[in-house]
Structure formats: structure tokens, C-alpha cells
Chains A and B, each alone.
Chain A
Amino acid sequence: MSSSTFFNISAGAYILGMVVYISYIAFRNKNIGIAATSLTIFGFVSQSIAFIIRWVNSYHFWLASRPESTFIESLLRAAPLRNLYESLVFFVWSLILVHLIMEFKYKNRSLGAFVTPVAALALLFIDVSGTAKEIQPLIPALQSNWLLFHVLLSFLGYAAFGVSFGAAVAYIIMVTETKTEKTYIFWSIIVGIFLIVLIAMGIDFLSLTAVERKELIQNYFLKATFRSSSGGIVAVSWVASIAFIFVIWRYGLGLKKILASLSITTNMLEEIEYKGIAIGFPLFTIGGLIMGAIWANSAWGRYWSWDPKETWSLITCFVYALYLHARFVSGWRGKRVAILAITGFITVIFTYLGVNLVLSGLHAYGGT
């Protein structure tokens, strides 16, 4: 079977896994929980196989045009971390890996309901953003080992931040008491936007035929809703979104009740939120900022040029440094730092996608 078959199987397993995790939270049946974990592990194994097959294929691809390369060089150049598509896929893989580790370490499944939607979001984005999925030749600037380690460590860092984000959202939901609290409004908007984007991409996905999806070269992100050519659809999308956020706000306390009845404690969520950052921050600083700078220096002779991607990485780093200082030096606790953890992940998403979609830069990771 081909790499993409295995990948599609894993994508299906993750999305199904998300649904099962959420039903686990709703029904609190142990067997449902086991099913959710099994599905996720199954997806993870399948994705790992897909990853290896793709690596092997791209190894042969490289060797075909550069037969004189050594084994190690070809292997490094072929590592499937070379464009937006491959990096998104790797992000999903790392996120699930970090999640499974946390699940086993803390012996608690409920977090899956908050982490798998992040994976689903990334998977849907892959399908609607029109990123090229074939194995592509590497342009000269990307032929660097520094770049490879840079991408590898950054994405592991992003994944750890993603888990921290899931825990922070769950934490905030659990600790807010009344609907008029600012934090309550904050989380209902964040969760609302998150789900709206997820649903909107689902609509994008469904509105495309399989053939169109295959030949998609242009970015279709939110084209079926917010960015539709028809003004009516755009207006409906906005109204529906506002209504949706209102519903979440109105009935959000129910979610809190469900969480409270599970064996999740706020302490555990705080700890996972911190652990994610304690792992993500050094990985991202070393891999994202330092190795990125070394690569830039070897490719362009400048280790830092304030281009948007670099600057947004730095902003991300500032937000997480802020989290660590606020928590460990100023003694902030609870909601305030959880909001920082959430803000941090929003800057991660922007660094990763927003810069390519919204801003332009030197980097080759633009898939639009």
C-alpha cells in the first residue's frame, strides 16, 4: 500500500478518535475510552508507516537526480519535513505522540477530547489549503541539515505547545464559575472560534468533490463560507458564527459539569499545561530560533533579518517566556497563566500558518 493510503487511514482514525473521545467525555464509559485510545494508537501506527514509506520514496527520488550522494546525505535530504504539507503531517504525528505520552503518564483519557480536535483541524487544513502533496524536489536553499533539525525540533515544540493549549482550555473551563466572568467569555469565544474554523473547514472539505480536491492548487481555506464569492453566504457565515458562540456561551457551564464529573483535577491540568511548555520552550528556542538562525546564516549570510517568520517566532518565544516568568518569578497561578498558555498557542498558529497565509516572507514554507 502507498504512503497516502496509510495516511488516509490514520487521518480517518484520528477524526473518528476525536468523536469517540468526545463521547467518552459525555458518557463516561470506560470501554468507549479504551476504544478512543485504541483508535488513536492505530492511527498513530498507520501514520508512522506512512511516514517511513514516504521517506523511502523520497530517498529514491533524491537519489534518482543525485546518484553520487552518500547514503547519509540522501537520507537527510529525503526526510519528509520539506514543505507545508509534510510539516503539517509531522505536526499531527508529534501532537498525537505527545498526547499519547501524557495520556499514559497521567493515566487520564479525557484530555484526548481537547487535543484530537487540534489534530483534526490540522488534517482538514491539509485538505483544503491546496498544499502540494506529491514529493517535490528540494530547492537549493532547503538543502541543509540545519534546516532539517530546525524543522524537526520546532514541530516537536509546537506539538508540546498544542497539548499545553488543550490542557489550558480544559483548565479554564473547569475553573470559571459564572457566565459574566471575563475568563468565561474568553474561553467561550476561543472554543467557539476554534470549532467554527473546524466546522468551516469541514464544509470546505465536503463542498469539494474528490477530483477537485486532488487537483486543488489554490488555497480553498474557508472559501465555502467566510471567503465565499457570494456575499449572502459570507453574511450567513458570520451570523451563524456569532449565534454559535452565543450558544457555547449560554450552555458552556454544562461542559464544565461534564469535566468536573470526570476524574480530571485542575491540578493535573495545570501540571500538563506547564509540562507542555517546559518541554516545548527549550525545544522551540533551540530548534526554532537558534537553528533557524544558523541555517539563515549559512544560506544568506545573515542570522537574523527580522523577516516576518523570524519575528513571529520571537514573539512566540516572548509569550512563553512571559508565561514562565509570570508563573515562577511573579507567582501568577491559575487563570492568568492559562490565558498566557492559550495566547502562546495562538501565536504558534500564526507563526506557522498566518505568516504564510497573511504575510509574506523569505521562507519557503508558503503553500498558498
Chain B
Amino acid sequence: MEKEKTTIFDKIWDFFASVRLTIVVFIALASTSIIGTIVEQRAEPATNIKLLAKFFGDSTAPTVYNIFVKLGFMDMYHSWWFVSLLILFSVNLIICSIERLPKTWRLVKMPLRPLNENVIKTLPVKKEMSIKTSLNTAKDEVLKSLSSYRYHVLAESAEENAVQLYSQKGGYTRLGLYVVHLSIILIFIGAIIGARFGFNGYLNLPEGMSASYAFLRTEPLSQAEQAEREQMLDIMESSQGDVSLTAKNLGITQDILDAKFKKYGIKPLGFTIICNWFNTEYYSQTDMPQEFQSELVIIENDREVLKKVIEVNHPLTYKGITFYQSSYGMVPNAVGTFVLKVRSTTGAEETLNLKFGQSFMIPGTNTRGTIVDFSPALARDPNTGKLITYSENMVNPAVGIEFDSPNAGRFTGWILKRYPETGVLPDGSQIKFLDYWGVEYTGLQVSRDPGVWFIYVASVIMAIGLYVAFFMSHKKLWIILRPETSGEKVSVRITVGGSASKNRLAFEREIERILSKASRTIEGLRPVGRE
């Protein structure tokens, strides 16, 4: 009677506990996710209008675009309905698991009972054999063999003239699925923690410059707003990144400053970061980059607290904020410094920092060099044989130096950074072009994600859960030992029946091994026993 009354609560519960809902949610998530992989997310409107024009024609594309924007397709994975689907997914997962857990728990805990021999013979896995020995020896050896395979016999029952042994192992593996489900929820929690308490920004930092903030994504800013932002950043730098000092210097309260930070997508770091240099290493003789590197220094309270060369896949973390090498580029209109290392034939060495047009003497000689030219990417045109600059980026930087020597007279030469042999002068002294410093910026991805450890732990839990759920199984077996006499000979008939929640073949093989181990020992015993 009690059961027939279904309250609203029961109905809602049943709705969320149903696996049919799971299936619907899976289909819904899978099919809607496709949209976001076709329409470029968070892109400039023009990009997607162009894409839509291919399907709907030029004239209707803008209308379709506007409808898509209203439906949230342009930032789909953050739209209200997609997030709702994810919430539905989690609620379903939690309630469904809670609903089923007690049943599974009972399966795990259920004690094994002896079975009738006829039933045992109908089990999915069966095996029969006969062995010449006494009942007691057979029982002892089978027990030993079982326990060496970690089957601990829970109980045995003596029947008319026979013994039944039964055992199970791996009952807990039935919980693997629940572990998988739990880990999915943990991943969601980790993602929420990250979204709530973390941030994801970027910073383009020229060589030799410092910053105490990172940028977040914002709506496009007007010109006046941009100007205000520039001014704020300048004051922030002169206040050495100190937020309360910045507010004071700007003559506003900290609350207002925070609001402005938010609007302009400025994220104060709480310390200062400097890019000492950025460098690209290439695979020899090619323009394929092998490694991008930046040397970063963290300054806190006017002290250098950390210095590290970061590479792609090897970021720097300080106070929970991580700096990833993500891009690079040229600073517009920058004037850099040429860093040269000059070595004379006598071995005297000197490192020089020079501006364009400046001169230097090669130590121990009367040869004077003057920097007269620069190319970020020098090459010889294969057709004309002329020297050309083939890229705006510093792919193959070269410095043009005019030499003036009392013996050799005046001559001009190109020294390439990636090919040090170009810097050997006729008299044997060498000039190494170390860097044209101060013209490149390093593009850093700056982020803090306190949820990421949660995600890692959840991933490990998921991997373990998946392993248990798919590669381990709950195995039960029953063995009947029945003595048989035919004339003089005494033997024992062993009948095994078993079932496994998965991987029946492996279970079959295990049973075979258990039996053959027991029978081998018994055969080994026999001669000793007879004599």
C-alpha cells in the first residue's frame, strides 16, 4: 500500500534516476556539441557570417547569424542551455548512482551459499576431472591451490558422501563503475572551482620590460577607454604593482579601481615579472623552430625571488600563477641593441652592447667595426643571387658591419646569428652576433587554476575506476569433491562451476590453472605416500 503512493518528490526522483534520461542527455550533449565545432566560438562576427554565407547565401547570412547569437551558438559551451544540460547530466548521474548503489552493495556483500550439484552444472563456466587420491588429500590440495589464487574459501558444506567448497573474489570490482561516475562529478567540481577562483589571461612582454598584471578577455574597448587603460597601467607600473598605492596615486578608492580593472580586463599579479630575453632555437639548417624560450624573473618587494627559462611544455609557476610560453612577435618600431662578442686572435674577449651606427674596436688590433645594417631574416635569393630579407620575424637575423682596417682597408660583411662561422674575419679574429635585443616580445599565457589538482586527482580516480570496471570482475565458484570407487582404485571426482561478471574466458583459464596445480601436487605426493 505504502509503495503505491507516489508523491511529487518520488516522481521527480524517478525522473532523474532513470537511465532513459541518461540516454537522452548523452544524445543531446553529443549532437549539440557538434554545433560548436562548426561555428567558430567567440570569434569576430565577420568570420562566422562568412561561414554561414556558404550555407545560407550572402543575403540571409546576417539574419541567420543574429538568430544564432540569440541561441547562444557563438559561445555555445557557456550558453545557458548547454550549461543546463551539463547540470542535468550531473544530477542524473548522482541520483542514478545513489539509486543503484544499495543494490550493487548487496551484490557485493551477499554471502555465497552452497548450490545443488545440478545447478552447478548449469553455470556458465564448468569443468570436471577425476583424480586418483583420497578425499582428504584432494580437499587439502584444492584448498591450497585456491588460496594461492587468492580464493579464500568462505565455508564448506559436507553433503552425503561429498564435500562442497565455494568461494568468491573481486566483489568490490562491481563498485568500479561508481568510482567512474564519482570521478566525473569530481571533474565537474574541479572545473567549477577553476572557473570561480581562477583566471586565464595573457601578457605580451617585450624583452627587458616588466609588468605586474596580465590581461583578461574583454569586450572591445573604445578609444577613450583604451587611453584610460594605458594611463592606469603606467601608474600601476610606477607604483610597482602595488594595488593600494595605484589607487592612491590615481586618487580613487580601491573599490573603484577594482571595478575598473574588471572592466578593462586587468588582472593584478601581486608581484612583478620581467622578461630578460626571448629566443628561438631552430633545427640546424632549417627554419623549423625547435624551441621557444624566455628568461623570466619574478620581483617581489624589490627583490629578485625567482628566475627561470621557460619553454613550451615547461612553464613557470609562482604563487599559484603559471606563465606559459605561448607565442612571440616583433615589437612595432622598436629600436634594439646589438649584442656582440668579439674575440681577437690573442684570445682577448669582450661583450659589446651597441646601437645602430655605433662603432667598436676589435681588441688588440686597429680594426674598427661599425654597425651599418640589419636584417631579421637574411637569405640569398636562389634566382637572382641577391641578398634579401624574407621575413619580418627574426628567423635568421643578420647584422651588417663595415670594417675599417689599416691593412685590409674597408669592407662590409654580414654576420648571421645562427651561423657563427660567418663572423670569422680574414685576420682570424671572430665576432659573434649574440642577439638583437629588445625588439621581440614573448607571448605569455598567464593563468591560475586552483581546480586543476582536483582534476588531476579525479583523472587518476577515473583511470582506476575504468580499469576496475572493465578489466576486473567478480568471480564466484563452487567445487564438489565426490569420492568414487571402482574396484581397487580410489579416486575423487572434482566438479567445478562458476560465474564471472565479465571476461569469462580468463576465468575459465584461471579455473583450469587452479585444478592443474592441485592435481600436479597430488600426483607428486602419490609415490611418496605409497612407499
Contact = CB atoms under 8 A, between A and B. Distances in A.
A314 interface: yes
Contact of A300 (B77, B290, B326): B326
A293 B326 CA distance: 17
Contact of B290 (A105, A137, A281, A301): A137
Interface in B54-75: none
Contacts of A137: 283, 286, 288, 290
Interface of A: 64-66, 105, 136-141, 143-144, 278-279, 281-282, 285-286, 290, 293-294, 297-304, 306, 308, 311-312, 314-315, 318-319, 321-322, 325-326, 329-330, 347, 355, 359
Nearest to B191: A304
A311 B291 CA distance: 28
Contacts of A321: 26
B84 interface: no
A359 B37 contact: yes
Majority-rule SS of A interface residues: helix
A330 B24 CA distance: 12
A322 B27 CA distance: 8
B98 to A, nearest CB: 15
B284 A65 contact: yes
B19 A329 contact: yes
Contacts of B34: 311, 315
Given A137-B286, A140-B311, A301 B27 contact: no
A299 B313 contact: yes
B19 A301 contact: no
Contact of B38 (A64, A281, A290, A359): A359
A105 B508 CA distance: 13
Nearest to B38: A359
Contact of B26 (A141, A144, A279, A322): A322
B322 A140 contact: no
Contacts of B315: 298, 301
Contact of A306 (B77, B325, B452): B77
Nearest to B471: A282
19 contacts: A137-B286, A137-B288, A139-B288, A139-B289, A141-B313, A144-B313, A278-B502, A281-B470, A282-B471, A298-B314, A300-B445, A301-B200, A301-B326, A302-B445, A318-B30, A321-B26, A322-B23, A322-B27, A325-B22
A315 B36 CA distance: 12
A196 to B, nearest CB: 23
Report which residue of B312, B445, B462 has the largest number of chain A beta carbons within 10 angstroms of its beta carbon.
Answer: B312
Given A312-B37, A322-B23, A290 B459 contact: yes
A286 B283 CA distance: 33
Interface in B471-497: 471
B200 A302 contact: yes
B456 A294 contact: yes
Contacts of B447: 301-302
B37 A301 contact: no
A325 B23 contact: yes
Contacts of A359: 37-38
B150 to A, nearest CB: 23
Contacts of B467: 282
B29 interface: yes
Contacts of B41: 306
B523 to A, nearest CB: 30
Contact of A318 (B26, B289, B290): B26
A139 B30 CA distance: 32
A290 B291 contact: no
B36 A330 contact: no
A290 B36 contact: no
Nearest to A326: B23
Given A105-B505, A301-B200, A325-B26, A355 B37 contact: yes
A282 B180 CA distance: 10
A298 B291 CA distance: 15
Contacts of A308: 37
Contacts of B311: 140
A319 B29 CA distance: 10
A293 B200 contact: no
Nearest to B76: A306
Contacts of B452: 297, 303
Interface in B424-478: 445-447, 449, 452, 455-456, 459, 462-463, 466-467, 469-471
Given A144-B313, A278-B470, 11 more contacts: A65-B284, A66-B290, A136-B288, A139-B289, A143-B291, A143-B312, A282-B470, A285-B462, A306-B36, A311-B33, A318-B26
Contacts of B16: none
B30 A65 contact: no
Contacts of B191: 304
A135 to B, nearest CB: 11
Contacts of B414: none
Nearest to B288: A137
Contacts of A314: 33
B215 interface: no
B486 to A, nearest CB: 36
Nearest to B100: A329
B11 interface: no
Contact of A301 (B26, B322, B456): B322
Nearest to B31: A315
Nearest to B458: A290
